[in-house]
Amino acid sequence: MNHHFIAIEGNIGAGKTTLAHILSKHFNARLIVEQFADNPFLANFYENPRQYAFPLELFFMAERYKQMNELVHTNDLFHSITIADYLFTKCLLFAKVNLPEQEFRLYQKLFDIIYQQLVQPDILIYLHAPVSKLQQNIRKRNRSYEQAIDDGYLLKIQETYTGYIRQHNIKTLFIDASNADFLGNEQHLKVILDALEMDIGEGPHYFTLPSES
């Protein structure tokens, strides 16, 4: 496999972190996992989005930058591959959904300054699942502050992600994760592993996971 930096993305509840852990173990890779629970504004944001959106997004961007910046300044002698369960551009995509126009413009200026300093992934794995599947996963992992997330919000996030991927020339494995079970179904994981071995060009490349026989 020729990819040294793999990012995994998807909507809330898509299974990003689960897949990141599996792939990091498979490739003996360095793992970068977002510490979302450390954000002190997260629970308040879901209760009062308008009041807490800007500090929420600033905190996330600062923490993600801190994590990603280590890739620039750290040589890991034991791992030749890095896998992250987010794309730094996630900052801008969520801010676009959550912030009013003036705050978003200010946020974007800060983002543009920081973005230029970071290493970008060789390939993106995007897990695409319908809102009903996302809600099922959200209920299953049972984080109290997520239980009131409505379908409309998840749909906005979904549309923002897919719009970004289609408009930008990012090398992307676009995975239909409607029935994804990377922990319990070896064939689902094999689709990902085989796709990572392919010599694909820029832009999105679409893959489906086999149904249960």
Taking the model in full, what pTM does it have?
0.93
158 and 66 both lie in a single domain: yes
107 and 73 both lie in a single domain: yes
112 and 156 both lie in a single domain: yes
Helices (H), the chain: 16-27, 42-47, 49-73, 90-98, 101-115, 131-141, 151-167, 186-197
- What share of the chain in percent tops pLDDT 70? 96
74 and 113 both lie in a single domain: yes
Q: How many C-beta neighbours within 10 Å does residue 201 have? A: 7
Match 């230029």 to its residue by tokens. 116
80 and 100 both lie in a single domain: yes
pLDDT at 174: 97
3-state class (DSSP) for residue 185 = coil
For the stretch 79-98, pLDDT in tens is: 789 999 999 999 999 999 99
**Separation of CA 2 from chain center:** 21
Total of domains in the chain: 2
Range of the domain at 189: 169-213
Q: Compute the average pLDDT of residues 170-195.
A: 95
Q: Is 85 a catalytic residue?
A: yes
pLDDT at 1: 72
Closest CA to 174 of 120, 106, 128: 128
176, 207 in Cβ contact below 8 A? Answer: yes
* Torsions phi, psi for 87 (to 5 deg): -105, 135
Query: Which of 85, 112, 150, 176 is flagged as catalytic?
Result: 85
Q: pLDDT class for 37, splitting at 50, 70, 90?
A: confident
Query: Any idea which of 26-40, 75-89, 90-104, 131-145 has the lowest mean pLDDT?
Result: 75-89
Q: Compute the average pLDDT of residues 165-181.
A: 93
